[in-house]
Structure 1
Amino acid sequence: MFRHTLLLIFRNFRKYRSTFFINLTGLASGLACAMLICLWVMDEYRMDKLFSHDARILHVLGNHHQEGGIKTALATPGVMAEALKAEMPEVEYAVATRPPGSMPRFTISSGNEHYKARQMFASADYFKVFPFPLADGNPETVLKNKKTILLSESTAQKLFHTTHGLIGKPVTWRQEETFTISGIFKDLPSNVTDPFDYIVSYDVFLDNFNVHWDNHNVHNFVILKPGANVAAFDAKIKDFLKTKIDFTAVTLSTQPHFENYLYGKFTNGVQDGGRIEYVRLFSLIALFILLIASINFMNLSTARASRRMKEVGVKKAIGAGRRSLILQYLGESLLLAFMALGVALVAVFLLLPFFNTITGKELSLFADMRMTGIFLLLTIVTGLLAGSYPALYLSGFRPVMILKGQFTSTIRELWVRKGLVVFQFSISIVLILAVIVVFLQLRFVQGKNMGYDRENVVYFFKEGKLRDDSRQFMQRLREIPGVVNASNATGNLTTHWGTTTGVEWPGKQKGLNIEFGCQAIDFGLIETMGMQMAKGRAFSPAFPTDSTAVIINEVAAAAMGLDDPIGKQVDFWEEKVTIIGVVKDFHFKTIHKAVTPWIFYFRPDQANAVVARLARGDQQETLRRIESLFREMNPGSIPDFRFMDEDFRTVYVSELRVGVLSRYFAGLAVIISCLGLFGLAAFTAERRMKEISVRKILGGSAAHIVLLLSADFTKLVGVAVCVALPLGYLITRKWLDGFAYRIELQWWYFALAGVLALVTAWLTVGSQAVKASRVNPVQHLKD
């Protein structure tokens, strides 16, 4: 019986080759898309899940209560870890870290080998909280000594060309201090979100940076003892900082370390999404594309049911039960699904390098054997989903009516088929609209005036001798051909800057707490960045008093309630300073949030980065000259050039990737939908061929016949447009709400999405309609 059923399935595939090809292509495309998304989603869920005790590793967060709401930050006071360990009996270990994402890359050297690497500062218990495996060294003691350093295997290989016998070897850090290697750790896995190349003792950070209870510049982690209640611990530490300093507007809370990657967005102190929103979005897209592909199978199978009704009638007449027929047709759809799986695997294998480039990941098809089970489950579910309705439908035919030739399509069947077509195109139209909105918003972001000119601006951090005195370097740098202007700053306007609430001004309301971005700069920074002054002036060597002066932006002036701030004195970090200028507002990092109040203060000695504007043209030659000067004046160190426009793009990397992926997935959804429409149109034309022949003999024109065959499908797509556009509005509106500055949804976005869907449908159906209108009526009327 099994052999007989299998033979019938293959005969049907061969007999209805066009239907088979459409179904195979649609299912294979849907499975390939779902498999790629599945690989990406699984990798997203793997991020920072590294150890068996991940659930007990908590990141201590700071909730800053400010005017207008609560801002949640990952950084908290750098002296807090030891206090939590000493005063909270629930804490097994506590560790303070300064991760690489919040620091510039520094040079480490051994002999003539120099390497710019990502460093991490970590306190002594780091490997008790995060037990990354060591290739050499004792995890209990590797960070006990202040003058020790740990290297990754790849970093050790670059500096020493080996990973063995390195314990006790010296390494120079920033051309300033010499450390002794205490351990070698294995290269970090790809699911670490903020990877590092070497670790330096946290005590070194304490020596080099300002750390106190009111300075939030460190990531603190605790690991709770087994059985400790996280909610109770959160309640206990909420007001912990108020026991350490007289006044603070910061409360504490915790979040499991591995959750921050996916659940890193907070609104008013409450967790409110993050990357998980994109994970859910693309999971839904994968589901919908599989549904669209399955609908093609359902529609074409039920549409061609009249071709198989005698087979069903004969089988039922000789005793076949409905159960056996259902199993036969489900077996047919499952076999087709597994054939599609083979095609999909080949497609995924070929597309994976391209997909990795788009997503910025290193995904592998079968890196995790669990994926094999997931792919098989996807295939089985798809096969059962696609075959369920046709199996129930075909097995329900009454044999007497079939064998008498009295079978006709029911109204319910037609409505189901039409409903499925409407569903297909509704999803496709929503995706088309999303692509339009994402593209226009990203174009708006790229083209928006950020308040400064980020093009052709390069920056790099100072090390060694340049940290102590860079005046001669800056003078010679400005003389290099191709350098338009240059200055010093603490980091730049997109990364590596600080914040403070330590600002007081005349008339400030009691209890008012406003966070200001703050940045130490040198003469010429505002001019180098192409900023515009709204009032007053920039820092200038002509004014010796600028060491006690500050420049604020327009938002800061408004927050202080100062209509005419020039000449006003304010307390900045308990020092009297004078406002000498107001710079026009600029977006320091992202337009997801409103412009932040900002203070520039004149401290060239604190400015750790060089910012230079380059002339258009041969910028590589200019960079080579700058590097030569850097090496000449700071032997043993190398500059780490970063362009500000590249930093700007990384801020929106998630949106850019979503934009690219959404275009491909929307296009795929439309193609699969059109495949189904193509098959239905071809079948409809074939079924109505005698009617078309009669109409042609009676004088019907080709245009009339094309309109006749296209009308029904046009109505269905029209209904899909009406269903999809309101849904698309809600989805795109929610996504745009994540930006403080965004485009406004215009009517023509929706009109364009609808027109594109209609035109695509017309082209798909029209090709079959035109073909049908050209037939020779004699060939079909002579039967």
Structure 2
Amino acid sequence: MFQNYLKIALRSILRYKAYSIINILGLAIGMASSILILLWVQHELSYDKWHKQAAKIYRVNSAAGDFKTAVSPAGMAGGVQAILPAIRNTVRMSAPNSFLFATGDRKFEESRVYYADSTFLQVFSFPLVKGDARTALQRPDAILITAEMATKYFGHDDPIGKVLRKNNNNNVVVTGVLADVPANSHLQFDFIQPMSAPEQRREITENPYNNFSFYTYIQLDDHFNASKAALAGLEKQMNDFFKKQNKDIRIDFTLQPLTSIHLHSNLQMELAGGGNIQYVNIFFIVAIFIMIVACINFMNLATARSARRAKEVGLRKVVGALRWQLMGQFLGEAMLISFFALLVAIIIVLLALPAFNELAGKKLIVHIWNGQLMTTLVGISVATGFLSGSYPALFLSGFQPVKVLKGSLRGLSGNRLFRNALVVVQFVVSIVLLIGTFVIYNQLRYIKQRNLGYDKENLLSMPMKGQLWNKKQALYNALAQDPATSQFTVTSDLPTNTTSGTIDVKWPGKDPHLQVVFPSLDVSESFFSIFNMKMLGGRAFSKAFNDSSSFILNETAARTMGMTPASAVGQQISFQDQKGTIIGVVADFNFKPIQRAIEPLVMRLNKWGGVVVVKTRPGATEAAIKSLGKICESLEPSYPFAYGFLDQQLAYQYKGEQQMGSIFNLFALLAIFISGLGLYGLSAYIAEQRTKEIGVRKVLGASLFNILRLLSGDFTRLILIAMVIAIPLAWWAVNQWLQSFAYHIQLGWSVFLLAPVAALFIAWVTVSYESIKVGVANPVKSLRSE
């Protein structure tokens, strides 16, 4: 019997080729889209879970009021380990550093260099390919490199014991080679140096409980029950310990599981490359939506062709076929189509994966013959076949043989309410996705076009490295003498993601219990003119005055101090024990990504260097780059010339949002395309059921427009119902996403009108084909059997 059903299913698929292709293609696109999304979701959820002790590792975060950071003081790791038996081990990581490394004729500037305690390889499970994990970070001049860096610097030679020249002034010895860091690790590095390195001694010994510059990880003891209450108790003990070490600062320490850092960490001074659990949830829901839409598409197409299978069902029932046997046959056909769709989907995934990786910024890999993956794919195929084939199987197997053999199909229209509900679901999904697409597009455009409080165009930046720090006056003179670079300023950091900050700020009338973190920037006199910033009160720094002990505030800082831009000028304040006078207040500008609200900022006169920013003339950027390169080559030839554009660096900050928007738009379009196939199926079904009715109407004088209006009327009513359901859902969903930005677009009625109108237009275009085909048909043919 099974063999017979298989033959019939294959014959049915081959007989109705167009129907089968549309069915298989719709399911295949739905499966392929869902597989790609689920691969991405699985990758995001897998971060740091591969560490052997992942469940026992926590990071120590700190918060000063609302200012929450991923860093903690240098002394916390050793201090809490000494007094808390629950802590088995600790490791500190520095922020990433940039160094120039050289060996022989190979010289490169590297930006993924960290300092770490010698316990680094004991706490984390980064595989050491060469070297001894117990001693690799013991000597102060040691360095661990990844396999990729080993090949880059030493080719195929054994790098152990080889020397790298660092910053042209000291040597480090390779004591270990690490396997390349997995893509699903929140720590991404190329080099690890010991915390005992000479240049780090001051950082970790001077004011060890004031310098919040280290990422601290603790490994809990195996016998410690990490319940919510137990972790809260541990945090309280850490807070009590810190209060004894530093009574001047109120800090709350929290423990964050290692495996939650990538998706659940929206903190200041967080390591780059973090994910967002909100995006994971969004795409997981989109994957489910796409599969639902694909299954509805299959159901509609199956019921649309029901009349062609009615007599077959009637004959089978007459000769003794039971309903469960017919249901098994039609479910088997659905499973077979689903299996064919899976094969096509796998091909689509393999072909599309490189482009999808480029779009998502990932390195996802599909191992087709992996047992677990194959089981999952087969499970998806079976679930899809069962879900999409269940309703058609129930519907087709329920035909009454007497009626169908007489040719009466009017009573076999099936559960119309259920079928309409499926179409409403398709429209709801389509409208929600369309609204999401419009909102994401507008928010990303808003990010690009938002007035940040300064002019970001035509700004060329160059970090001061090597001897440029000591030759800054010669550098400034050379820049000023060249017309291509004469408009320049020097700042301690670019106003893109400023991370430095202090609570050691005093002003007249300050509440002694108030604790506010003030970020800071050190800038030269020309900073405000180069960035075209607006002064609200007072003046900018000037060479005509001695501004070495002067301050400029942003308006948020003035407001925090209870001052206006006018009243702030002339006030005496203290910043990190440096007393001085406020000489100006600048209009607020974004010096961090717009996900964060503007914070109070203190600006001082730059005395040491940092980053040179050159304002180039339109069309003269290449000339400015060449001039800047020549100046650097003459003053510091041992360092490679490096430069960047401020607008590009700003755009890079929102790379995650851009990628999310691109992925969402892609799959939204695919879901709408699949919905279109489903609508086509339903329009074909309705046209098929009403062929004779339309023939009678044409004989009585109905025009093509009347027929189109008749057939599209039902769809219009369904869209109106879908709108009522979809608009509140979409409003809630997009508002949840927009709340992650401190500055975002305001949702207007137009967004919630355009999407339903677009869905209605897509529906009308889809329905029109079958409607026009029936409308222009000769009524004689449809009425001949009457």
Counterpart-to-counterpart distance in 2, 1:87 and 1:154: 40
What does residue range 571-590 of structure 1 map to in structure 2 within 5 Å? Answer: 571-590=574-593
Instruction: Give the alignment's TM-score, normalised by structure 2.
Output: 0.93
Q: Compute the displacement of 1:98 (Å).
A: 1.1
Tell whether the 8 Å contact from 1:78 to 1:217 is kept in structure 2 after alignment.
Answer: yes
Aligned pair in 2 of structure 1 residues 87, 341: CA closer, same or farther (>3 Å)?
same
Match of 1:152 in 2: 146
Aligned partner of 1:733 in structure 2 is 735
The residue number in structure 1 matching 2:210 is 214
Q: How does 1:412-431 map to 2 (within 5 A)?
A: 413-431=415-433
Q: Which moved more, 1:523-532 or 1:672-681?
A: 523-532
Q: Are residue 223 (structure 1) and residue 219 (structure 2) matched?
A: yes
Cα distance in 1 between the residues matched to 2:172 and 2:355? 42
- Partner residue of 1:595? 598
How many angstroms does 1:266 deviate by? Answer: 6.8
**Pairwise CA RMSD of aligned residues?**
2.2
Instruction: Choose from 682, 685, 688 the match for 1:683.
Output: 685
- The more displaced of 449-458 and 52-61 is 449-458
Residue 377 of structure 2 corresponds to which residue in structure 1?
A: 375
- The answer as to 2:607 corresponding to 1:604 is yes
* Counterpart position of 2:548: 547
Query: For residues 66-123 of structure 1, what are the alpha-carbon distances to aligned partners after superposition, in whole Å with 9 as ceiling and x for unaligned?
Result: xxxx3321011122222122222222211111132xx4x2211224321111211111
For residues 321 and 243 of structure 1, what CA distance do their matches in structure 2 show? 81
Instruction: Report the Cα offset of residue 218 of structure 1.
Output: 1.0
Note the alpha carbon deviations across 1:406-438, whole angstroms, 9 max, x for none: 664468701111110011011100100111111
SS of residue matched to 1:238: helix
Unpaired runs of 5+ in structure 2?
Answer: 269-273
Aligned residues: 768
Q: Which amino acid aligns with 1:96?
A: R
* AA of the residue aligned to 2:214: V
Pairs within 5 Å for 1:234-313: 234-265=235-266, 275-313=276-314
- Paired residues of 1:135 and 1:186 also in contact (CA < 8 A): yes
Q: TM-score, normalised by structure 1?
A: 0.94
CA distance in 2, matches of 1:496, 1:178: 31
Q: Which residue of 1 aligns with 2:95?
A: 99
Q: What CA distance in whole angstroms lies between the structure 1 residues aligned with 2:751 and 2:300?
A: 30
1:171 to partner: Cα distance: 1.9
Identical positions, percent: 35
1:6 aligns with 2:9: no
8 Å CA contact 2:498–2:519 kept in 1: the answer is no
Quick one: which of 186, 189, 208 aligns to 2:182?
Answer: 189
* Equivalent residue, structure 1, for 2:271: none
Mark the CA change 1:391 to 1:240 in structure 2 (over 3 Å): closer, same or farther.
Answer: farther
Question: Which residue in the other structure is 1:488 paired with?
Answer: 490
* Distance apart, 1:61 and its partner CA: 0.6
Please show how residues 41-190 of structure 1 align to structure 2 within 5 Å. Answer: 41-65=41-65, 70-100=66-96, 103=97, 105-117=98-110, 118-164=112-158, 166-190=159-183
The CA distance in 2 between the partners of 1:99 and 1:188, in whole Å, is 17
1:728 and 1:26 map into 2 onto residues whose CA distance is 25
Give matches, 1:397-412, under 5 Å. 397-399=399-401, 402-403=404-405, 408-409=410-411
Q: Secondary structure at the match of 1:354?
A: helix
Change (3 A) 1:274 1:351: closer
Q: CA distance change for structure 1 residues 162 and 513 in 2, over 3 Å: closer, same or farther?
A: same
Kept in 1: contact 2:9–2:333 (CA 8 A): yes
Residue 486 of structure 1 and its aligned partner are, at CA, apart by 2.1
Superposition deviation, residue 579 in structure 1: 1.0
Q: 1:409 to 1:593 in 2, by over 3 A?
A: farther
- SS of residue in 2 equivalent to 1:319: coil
Q: Residue 656 of structure 1: CA displacement?
A: 1.3
Gaps of 5+ in 1: 268-272
2:778 and 2:395 map into 1 onto residues whose CA distance is 35
Cα gap change, 1:313 to 1:589, in 2 (>3 Å): same
Distance 1:343 1:751 in 2: 37
Q: Which range is displaced more, 625-634 or 758-767?
A: 625-634
**Alignment partners' CA distance in 2, 1:322 and 1:71:** 67
Give, in whole Å, the separation in 2 of the partners of 1:16 and 1:131: 56
Alpha-carbon distance in 2 for matches of 1:135, 1:620: 44
The answer for the alignment partner of 1:18 in structure 2 is: 18
The answer to whether the 8 A contact 1:461-1:639 is kept is: no
Give the direction of change, closer, same or farther, for the CA distance of 1:286–1:762 in structure 2 (3 Å limit). Answer: same
- Give the C-alpha shift of residue 484 in structure 1: 4.9
Are the counterparts in 2 of residues 107 and 173 from structure 1 also a CA contact under 8 Å?
A: yes
Alpha carbons of structure 1 residues 401 and 705: separation in structure 2 relative to 1, 3 Å = closer
Contact 1:239 1:251 in 2 (8 A): no
Question: Is contact 1:107-1:637 (8 Å) kept?
Answer: yes
Tell me which residue corresponds to 1:522.
524
In structure 2, the residue matched to 1:270 is: none
What displacement does 1:253 show? Answer: 1.0
For 2:611 and 2:373, the matched residues in 1 are separated by 46
Show the counterpart of 2:718: 716
Is 1:174–1:463's contact at 8 Å kept on the other side of the alignment?
Answer: no
